[in-house]
Amino acid sequence: MAYCLVGDVRERLPEIEDAESNSEIEGCIEQAQAIVDDMFRRHATVPLTGTIPASVKHGTADIAAGIFRSRRTADKAMPALYDQGVKRVEGYVNSTYRAGAFVR
């Protein structure tokens, strides 16, 4: 189960209008999900299943959009969207897990 959809990433990339970019965006989502899984790995079984929390969905979409933009620009530095997504997911992980225990 993907943590976000192509449409979620496209919302962050209004400059991308061609449908041919969808497969590249899907690859960016896979990459972003692997990054998110690494953030959760100490605390939960990954990949996550069930309903994906909104913070994780939006954070994954931000990370994927950042990866996509870094592929399309001459400047290969990760765009601010990437950092925003990492911070969003880290915030969720930090507020949900305490001392290695899952808190619901």
Whether the pLDDT of residue 103 is over 50: the answer is no
Q: Give the alpha-carbon dihedral of 6, 10, 16, 22, to 10 degrees.
A: 0
pLDDT at 77: 65
Residue length, the chain? 104
**pLDDT tens across 13-36, in order?**
998 889 889 999 999 999 999 999
- Phi then psi for residue 44, to 5 deg, are -150, 165
The model's pTM is 0.89
